[in-house]
Structure 1
Amino acid sequence: MSLKSFLKNNRHTKLLYTGLASWKNDGIRMTLARMRMRKHRILNEKEYMKNYLPSKEQLEKERRTVFDKDITFSIIVPLYNTPVGFLREMIQSVQAQTYSKWELCLADGSDDQHPEVRQVCERFAANDSRIRYQKLEKNYGIPGNTNACLKMATGNFITLFDHDDMLHPSALFENMKAITEQGADFIYTDEMVFEGSIANTVLIHFKPDFSIDTLRGHNYICHLTSFSKELQEKVGYFSEDYNGSQDYDMILRLTEQAQKIVHIPKVMYFWRRHSGSVASDVSVKPYCMVSAKKALADHLEREGLKGEVVDSSILSTYKINYEIEGTPLISIIIANKDHIDDLDKCLKSIFEKTTYPNYEIIIVENNSEVKETFSYYERMEREHDCVHVVKWDGIFNYSAINNFGVKHSEGDYILLLNNDMEVITENWLEEMLMFVQRKDVGIAGAKLYYPDNTIQHAGIIVGIGGSAGHAHKGFPRSDGGYIHRLTIAQDLSGVTGACLMTKRSVWDEVGGLDEENFVVAFNDVDFCLRVREAGYLVVFTPYAELYHYESKSRGYEDTPEKQKRFDRERTRLRKRWAKILEEGDPYYNPNFTLDREDFSLRDR
């Protein structure tokens, strides 16, 4: 197949699911090289799915497994005019489960022109007592038909399943393991989209572990979802108020109340793409987006958060503009040694573009040698009341210099900022502050670009390269990233100290940057991980954008001495955070490679 044919045949899937298309209204296009890479990725996913089924021996071992809990799964499937071929495959995929304690609850709202749906279901039910079928008086819509299924359910756990999709034979077995081994009351898995047959993989969605801000950006949890009957009874039934996004609303309500959310990083669900399905094109059901925004708004109200839900840049993704309380002082800490041209560009962009009214800039002068530097400082302090220069006399230590700057600042919020930055987004401070003001958030970071409009930073992933790397590094600025991740706010393990906002209270709680162990490298990663360890979230927002004029080739390895220091600090990071390196970054699926920053698959 030619590249042109490939793009034509897969355009909607890329646009709506992976955000792989970088055009806007068909105007901007990706480079041919980038698209070839994306085509290669999907071909790799097809190769991955060739081995999606366990061996016969493994399947038999699963069937013989005895668990220490007696759990029955009620698989909920609302039916409406289901094509009988899809219907049979759906039911057969349930019957193929290696864990046999299940009931399949089918509530049929099909019209009189589709009697074959009832005929097929009744034949299956006659031969398998675990299949329960009810013909509804009329079609009550997806929420109503699903509620009819729920009223039929007698199991301990509820599993949501669409009438035209298929389950992996180990789906319930893996769910059962999550319940017995981890005490899960809410479970979700990875999924793949196929067209025609399962062998024709369109894409695979490898998901992060539970991430509330990612969930508020779009319903990344989706399929397969299971939850305890007790949890469902606590939150109630599906609501017709969210028709088209009733699952999104239910997932938000369930995760608000769940005690143990477990993500199974395996493809356990096969989502069929066909004409008229959301998997083909979400624009076929535009009312879904209206319902989704209502579900999010109601979720915020339940959580005691004030904010406005708006559409993001890709269909079916959302942005929340959290209400900012007051205008607290933000202290911007900038370390500087000479490099006045860089610093001047940075400061001018702040003065000319920043809409937030209350900030101070603490320039930490560290051992400048050029006379003009000090003349520049004097001019800045004279012309701008918000600028204050403090002098650091010690040897270069990035962590100590920033800690020193924070001690000389007065803001309730602290922003670490490199001197080689240029503000793009006028409300960049508001976009980060709205997150850091939340009680559950300790840090917010921004989206940074190289001068050539490729991504320098979109959050930090722990484990890449044996230590940590930047997500989507080198991607075009207009790219949506893997499954929209360049277009929505999300929880991550870390963000770069080149532009990092935090509360002063959190800074003090964890002791600022570690100036003893991380003089130059990994101090930001370590700080973020300590903040997460203290129980706070770290949020990356793509809505605060800046240029970072860091050279792509510059690093810490340009002299033997610097290389040794870098290696020492990397070793310390690995030792201190050995557990997360061993278990894997919770916001980065273990199926992805640790050799690159492009969300490509791990070599097998």
Structure 2
Amino acid sequence: MAAWAEALPQPVPIAVLMPVFNPKPEWLQAAIDSVRAQLYPHWQLCIADDRSTDPRIQPLLEAAMAADPRIQVVFRERNGHICASSNSALELVQAPWVALLDHDDLLPDEALIWVAKAIAEHPQARLFYSDEDKLSPAGELFDPYFKGDWNPVLMEGQNMSSHLGVYATDLVRRVGGFREGFEGSQDHDLVLRCSEQLRREQIVHIPRVLYHWRVHPQSTAGGAKAKPYTVQAAERAISEHLQRRALPLRQISWTPVGFRAELALPELPPRVSVIIPTRNGLQVLRPCLISLLERTRYPDFEVLVVDNGSDDPATLQFLAGLEQQGQIRVLPDPSPFNYSALNNRAVNHASGELICLLNNDIEVVDPGWLEELVVQALRTGVGAVGARLLYPNRTLQHGGVLLGVGGVANHAHLGWPGDHPGYFSRAQLTQEMAAVTGACLLVRRSHYEAVGGLNEEQLKVAFNDVDFCLKLREQGLQNVYAPAARLIHHESVSRGQDLSAEKAARFAAEVDWMQQRWGDQLPHDPAYNPNLSLDNPHFRLAWPPRVERWASS
């Protein structure tokens, strides 16, 4: 690695920005030493001391400057807090790239060389971020956060980019540097403002742990309670970001799992056509339809029940009664079971601007579920939106779909307690996902039709939802998991499990088709991390590793 750096004909300098105020001297020295130990030698350490009152800090910094000409320090005349101090350090920066390092944290020795390699491989990029872990008081590394690619919706719930953040210096200066008044969440505010100036492909994730975040009572590494003012600063940063993007923010709230930005419906909410294929199954169909009709608060929706050859008198009587009352429309379709075709044909009869695919074994529990899906689907650039689905025992059935897990795809956090935060709160935060389940899926009708709906030729039963979501992504749309929309899913009760030889053969053919069609994408889910396993949906470390080792070519 070091030989690669030395051999570069035009190495890119990287500045490390470090605001300092009264850290433990041994922690500050360790932070400085971690920069000096970098395998990549083309760095500049820019330190601003915010008038520390500890008399040991200034001599330590002066000694660091004397020991290495790449270290520069400005001693501020008055204390201005972290944003003002960071801006003072920014004035020292001469390099085209700037990385952010807190005065008590550490960089592993390969951090900047991986950044330099990423800069060389992504010349269009203007912002990089890496994975991170934590450093315990005993000096042990723990709790690694293996992140996904840039996820602007998740950024509204947490600062998922955070450490290590590396920015084009001219970009940081162009947006005005660090804004005073956002102390404690100044980096969250900065990355949001920078992202507004960039295209998605200009923000690059480096799937390596390049930052060790020290945990101590005054650090937010242990949670926001250490610095409660950080919550207010982040709320303001997210609120202003959404306002600049002209999103209809109703309110923003915080819980220990993160932030929730609640968006408002338009004054005239668009009509939603809810499509429910069924064949008999009154034991699940009745609670599905009754809960849908009685509990859903959304002001304008129609219910289309696709009757795929029901012959149970009780089911037929139940449907006829609801249709006579004008509460549903029944679309008879006795053709051989083909989930994709049933939905596609029903869309032709729908009057809504939005289409909601709903399994007949879904039960509504929260009145606002459909509103939550609609406000996400109305975002510019959003394709399909999926809900948080719970089994009847309230464990998680669907928290978004992870590509490649188990071969083709699997549900994130499958079987976890329904109220569990999930991996770094991702079971509970609204975010982009590569795909969502068709058991409860909302999409604009125009998007549905643009990609040809569900694949009724090769994917009659399984994976048609994943394929549909990937087709939306091909159109430049992003799919969203909206956990505030919470429903119960009595999965596969209506048609039973696929156990026969015929069904097993059909499923194997659908798996094969998915791997042929999407095989290059399945192992590379943008919302997952290549350090994590494809064997199960529980965000566990992959073994053997899936991430390639250093290659200088």
Normalization by structure 2: what TM-score? 0.95
Question: What are the within-5 Å matches in structure 2 for residues 266-305 of structure 1?
Answer: 266-305=208-247
1:329–1:410 Cα contact (<8 Å) kept: yes
Provide the residue aligned with 2:548 in structure 1.
Answer: none
2:281–2:494 Cα contact (<8 Å) kept: no
Query: Structure 2 residue aligned with 1:117, among 57, 60, 65?
Result: 57
SS of aligned partner of 1:248: helix
Q: Does 1:83 align with 2:55?
A: no
User: Cα offset for 1:201?
Assistant: 2.3
- How far, CA to CA, are the matches of 1:589 and 1:559 in structure 2? 36
More helix by proportion, 1 or 2? Answer: 1
Q: Which residues of structure 2 form unaligned runs of 5+?
A: 545-553
Q: Does 1:223 align with 2:159?
A: no
Amino acid at match of 2:509: R
Q: Deviations over 1:32-81 (max 9, x none)?
A: xxxxxxxxxxxxxxxxxxxxxxxxxxx44444442x64421111000001
Q: Using the TM superposition, name which of 468-477 and 276-285 deviates more.
A: 276-285
- How far, CA to CA, are the matches of 1:313 and 1:396 in structure 2? 44
User: What is the percentage of aligned positions where both structures have the same residue?
Assistant: 38
1:457–1:473 Cα contact (<8 Å) kept: yes
SS of aligned partner of 2:89: helix
Provide the residue aligned with 2:399 in structure 1.
Answer: 458
1:392–1:404 Cα contact (<8 Å) kept: no
Provide the residue aligned with 2:338 in structure 1.
Answer: 397
Q: Deviations over 1:179-203 (max 9, x none)?
A: 11112210000000111354x1231
- How far, CA to CA, are the matches of 1:144 and 1:248 in structure 2? 16
Query: Structure 1 residue aligned with 2:39, among 95, 98, 102?
Result: 98
Distance of aligned partners of 1:69 and 1:351 in 2 relative to their CA distance in 1, 3 Å threshold: farther
Amino acid at match of 1:121: L
Question: What are the within-5 Å matches in structure 2 for residues 328-339 of structure 1?
Answer: 328-339=270-281
Q: Does 1:248 align with 2:188?
A: yes
Q: Does 1:322 align with 2:263?
A: yes
SS of aligned partner of 1:100: coil
- How far, CA to CA, are the matches of 1:552 and 1:274 in structure 2? 50
Please identify runs of 4+ aligned residues in structure 1 that moved more than 6 A: 552-555
Provide the residue aligned with 1:41 in structure 2.
Answer: none
SS of aligned partner of 1:279: helix
Question: What are the within-5 Å matches in structure 2 for residues 3-82 of structure 1?
Answer: 59-66=1-8, 69-82=10-23
Question: What are the within-5 Å matches in structure 2 for residues 353-432 of structure 1?
Answer: 353-383=295-325, 385-432=326-373
- How far, CA to CA, are the matches of 1:295 and 1:356 in structure 2? 30
Provide the residue aligned with 1:5 in structure 2.
Answer: none
1:312–1:487 Cα contact (<8 Å) kept: no
User: Cα offset for 1:459?
Assistant: 0.4
- How far, CA to CA, are the matches of 1:327 and 1:356 in structure 2? 9
- How far, CA to CA, are the matches of 1:146 and 1:227 in structure 2? 14
Q: Does 1:235 align with 2:172?
A: no
Distance of aligned partners of 1:346 and 1:555 in 2 relative to their CA distance in 1, 3 Å threshold: closer
1:110–1:117 Cα contact (<8 Å) kept: no
Q: Does 1:187 align with 2:128?
A: yes
- How far, CA to CA, are the matches of 1:548 and 1:69 in structure 2? 57
Q: Does 1:157 align with 2:101?
A: no
Across the aligned residues of Structure 1 and Structure 2, the Cα RMSD in angstroms comes to: 1.6
User: Cα offset for 1:554?
Assistant: 8.7
SS of aligned partner of 1:149: helix
Amino acid at match of 2:537: E
Amino acid at match of 1:479: H
- How far, CA to CA, are the matches of 1:241 and 1:379 in structure 2? 61
Provide the residue aligned with 2:77 in structure 1.
Answer: 137
Amino acid at match of 2:158: H
Distance of aligned partners of 1:598 and 1:261 in 2 relative to their CA distance in 1, 3 Å threshold: same
Q: Does 1:560 align with 2:498?
A: no
- How far, CA to CA, are the matches of 2:327 and 2:322 in structure 1? 9
SS of aligned partner of 1:166: coil
- How far, CA to CA, are the matches of 1:195 and 1:263 in structure 2? 25
Q: Deviations over 1:96-147 (max 9, x none)?
A: 11111111001001333x1211111111111211000111112110000000
Aligned length: 540
1:165–1:271 Cα contact (<8 Å) kept: yes
Q: Does 1:174 align with 2:114?
A: yes
Distance of aligned partners of 1:196 and 1:298 in 2 relative to their CA distance in 1, 3 Å threshold: same
SS of aligned partner of 1:378: helix
Amino acid at match of 1:299: H
Question: What are the within-5 Å matches in structure 2 for residues 388-537 of structure 1?
Answer: 388-537=329-478
Normalization by structure 1: what TM-score? 0.87
- How far, CA to CA, are the matches of 1:520 and 1:551 in structure 2? 12
